Amino acid sequence: IMGVSSPGDIDTTHLANSSALKTSLPAADGFFGDDKKYGGAFLPPPLEPVMKAVGDAYEKIKSDPAFLTELSRLRKEFIGRPSPIFHCKNISDEIGGAQI
């Protein structure tokens, strides 16, 4: 995309309820697309409840403005090149003084 230095520079927060996004994300059965002919998944039975919990958690937060803001920041700072140097705030706070 012209004028975009990395994929993370694209603001996608406005897409949360768009029709294009709804057809590109999988339905509950794992299929996606206008006619739901793409996708699907196989999970070993022990992983099914774990992935259901992940899916349920995502459903709860996918339209939350704070989540979308954080997701946008992560996409901007961690997807593609170049990426900014990461400030290790917790380590910096723990050692006191030096900013790592």
Give, for all 100 residues of the chain, the pLDDT tens digit.
Answer: 444 454 455 555 555 555 655 556 667 777 777 777 777 777 899 998 999 999 899 999 999 999 999 999 888 877 776 556 777 888 889 998 888 7
Pick the closest to residue 71 from 14, 3, 4, 2 (CA basis). Answer: 14
Distance CA 20, CA 71 (A): 19
